[in-house]
Structure 1
Amino acid sequence: MKIVILDAKTLGSDVDLSGFKQFGTVEVYPTTDSSQLLERVKDADIIVTNKVVIDKNALSVAEKLKLICVAATGYNNIDVRSAVEKKVAVANVAGYSTESVVQTTFGMLFYLLMNLRYYDDYVKSGRYAQNDIFTHIGRPFWEINGKRWGIIGLGTIGRRVAEVAESFGCEVVYYSTSGINRKEKYKRLNLNHLLETSDIVSIHSPLNEKTYNLITLNELKKMKRNAILLNLGRGGIVNEKDLSVALDSGYIAGAGLDVLEKEPVSSNNPLLTVKNKDRLLITPHIAWTSIEARQKLIDEIIENIKAFLEGRERNRVDLRQ
């Protein structure tokens, strides 16, 4: 059995990949571009990919291929129709990064809300040493206890964020991006009502035709002036040009983004030239990347391979579309 890991760099150098060796020969590539793909997959029995696109050409060349393991929950980088035709199974991993994303959500919130960059700079610049009192209230902040937290996308991550927000004393409400009615303990609102009344809005939904450009300048203007917006779902849900306008116009107090429409970020992205830089925190799609989450991801992929070889259904993607 030959296993080819196409973009191991996305998994980090500090995770243990040795578990794959129990299945046979393992070829590990840090990254793989389109010009290298066909040569690398042509003899593979199993492919492990995070973001490398496995298209019809790759599937046609990989004549021995039996299983594609996606090192993620989403599998939009796989040509599903061609996989069906070639009778190649696809397995993904769900739920491995929930705690990591939730932790990042609150880390972003407190960084913005409490103006931590400003206060850190204030001390390290030497200004605090010249202060005439023991404290400095240059950027007042408010407590989240008793405030309304609006969640867009109440899936596994959204529910966990809701639980933690409640532990801080927040009132949690949500907007369903799918429109499916489920019995939830939290109050469901339409999008406008959620935006107009929430002090914190966090996005944890997938990107699809219902959520693309869900938040534009029109929606941002409806938010409270002291509200904070967090997007840990997918880039493209928040219109980035409109967000830059909203931040510089003071329509919202701040925004934290772990995802962008184009990743890595384009050099001409309007968010990079926001005037009020203290109002904006952007991280390079790291919310899922705790050490524990990445090792759990690897362990789950190994279990998916074991299940496939033993003829068991485990995290198998339903390719009938």
Structure 2
Amino acid sequence: MTDRVLRVGVVGCAAIARRTTLPALTTNPLVRLVAVASRSRAKAEDVARAFGCEAVTGYAALLDRDDIDAVYVPLPPALHPEWVGRALAAGKHVLAEKPFAVDEKSAADLVAAARAAGLLLMENFAFLHHGQHDAVRALVDEGAIGEVRHLTAEFGFPPLPDGDIRHDPALGGGALLDVGVYTLRAASLYLGPRVAVHGAVLRTDPALGVDVAGAALAADPGGRTAQLAFGFDRAYRCATTLWGSEGSICLDRAFTAPPGLRPVLRLTRQDLVEERTLPAGHQFASLITRFARTALGGGADGAFEGPAEDILRQAALVDAVRRAADAGR
């Protein structure tokens, strides 16, 4: 393991960055947060003061710096093709907020650019790095619920306030790209990389011009199925259930477990209902460690390829949901 630290800049001052990823960056011993950029000098200075780094006016000025090895991009998804592309052209590794891309083509273009430059691209799905999912996989591997037959993944919350950027189609808004992507990623996590979409529905709000809810049916080549549901129009829910031949496993905070929460895993069999309180975990801290270690490793043994393939598969699933929903209208 190298003794170097990864020098990181942040392209944008989004609320998600301030709330989750910036605190994880500033406390990780593998990382030095160098600077944060905003189009507004006042906003950049405000965030820089809070996190002990330098303020930069304008995203391009941050990318021009030679004291930054990697950038975190929490911009709206429709801005990723430009700014992730420019970061790669400037020789920076990139951690981009989910969804990495609004469609499969833009994802493929950026992955191709990263591969040509020998740089790391990673999508910020922090939930993948929480230990509760390791606990689920360990139970599945030991046969606690027999053979997995079906996955249910649900993520939704009440309506967003007027003017929220997730209502803006020009910025890549909509429920599919904001919360539906989590359910699709859970399907890949538990059913494998060959999972495919077989049907979908998206409900669009005509006044907003974006989808506010949806559902999809997916399956792997072996016939294991997934039922996915998401939306901006319902009571909060953030859950996954694995249903097997001999039982089921449920997580109630599958995607958004905060650092202090000890998640509860529910294991159900014919003769058993057991609730296990799992250790708390900081999924954003774990993600930053994974990103830093991979970037500092320089892509040895193809380490950059796994995250790139994950991005491509995820974008393909998003496009497949859109095509299935269009076909069903």
Give TM class, smaller chain: 0.3 to 0.5
- The TM-score, its normalising length taken from structure 2, stands at 0.38
More helix by share: 2
- The TM-score, its normalising length taken from structure 1, stands at 0.38
